[in-house]
Amino acid sequence: MQVNSRNAYIQKSLLLSIIGIGLLIVVATFLGKETAKIVTDFVSIPIAGTLVILSSILVLRFRKTGSHGKAWLFFLGISISWFIAETIWAVLELVYHADPFPSLADVFYLAGYPFLMCFLIYYIKPVKEAATKRMLIVATIVSASMMFPSVYMAYDSDPKVSIIANIIATSYPIIDSIIFIPALIGVILFFRGEVNFTWSLVCIAIILNVAGDTAFQISTFTDTYYTGHPADILLLWSYVFFSFGVYDHIRIFKKTQYHGTKSHLA
């Protein structure tokens, strides 16, 4: 009963967080794009910073033991890399009044993806036997159907961006199409009851990140992107889901450690 109550509390907090962030950005947009830019930049840094703090706590508790310990060490690399990217983006916009895309921020955004891939490889090891060939085929088809339009838009149309910006903007959905496959399989396994709540939150976060990157690319190519765009809401939501996933795993680890200590004392 206590576990169900705790999970319900986490789910309620998660729902309130994503609604609150969504409403905040929407209201800021109604007040003008400049307000939306300031609010989004100021919100993104603490949200990304929270993920760094939670990831650090989890890494310190696992201490690189086993596949999960190594997985969360790579996850810490993701969170740090993306936190630096969010900070650079905000500083370029708010302090230097410069266009943050393309910029050094993209180097750190893209640098996070190898960490994310390594995280998925290590984390999925314990449940890889549960993933069927049919799941893999379906996930690959869905991923490819999302990637091909992005590539087509980049190289068969006339995007209103420079060649460098075009390449960087297109690299996000291409890389996303790779990590989308294990994320979608993870969500399927969750609904089949074969993976835990933490894994589902992380996978949903990845899917939101993929959707946000795709929306970013489309709006960039059509010259409609601005900081505070709906694409940013999806990306901020992905940070929130990541954070709650990490927090849930911290809670599980603490509970397991506690019961192990009790058993030892008994």
Q: Tens-digit pLDDT profile for the chain (266 aa)? A: 455 666 788 889 999 999 999 999 999 999 999 999 999 999 999 999 999 999 999 999 877 667 778 889 999 999 999 999 999 999 999 999 999 999 999 999 999 999 999 998 887 777 777 778 888 899 899 888 888 877 777 665 566 677 888 888 888 888 998 999 988 888 888 777 777 788 889 999 999 999 999 899 888 888 899 999 999 999 999 999 999 999 998 887 665 554 443 333 23
User: Which residues does 57 contact at the CB level (< 8 Å), separation at least 6?
Assistant: 250
pLDDT of residue 155: 67
Pick the closest to residue 147 from 114, 181, 110 (CA basis): 181
Token pair 């294990």: residue: 182
Start-to-end CA span in the chain (Å): 24
pLDDT of residue 79: 98
Q: Measured on CA atoms in the order 248, 250, 251, 257, is the torsion positive or negative?
A: positive
Residues 252, 200: Cα–Cα separation, whole Å:
14
Helix axes 66-94, 33-62, angle to 10 degrees: 160
Residues 73, 87: Cα–Cα separation, whole Å:
21
Residues 137, 227: Cα–Cα separation, whole Å:
36
DSSP SS3 for 179: helix
The total domain count for the chain is: 1
pLDDT of residue 211: 92
- Residue 131 token pair: 């993933």
| Cβ contact 176:214 at 8 Å | yes
Residues 109, 49: Cα–Cα separation, whole Å:
14
Residues 98, 100: Cα–Cα separation, whole Å:
6
Rg (CA), the chain: 19
pLDDT of residue 157: 56
Which range marks the domain in which residue 33 is found? Answer: 2-265
CB atoms within 10 A of CB 258: 10
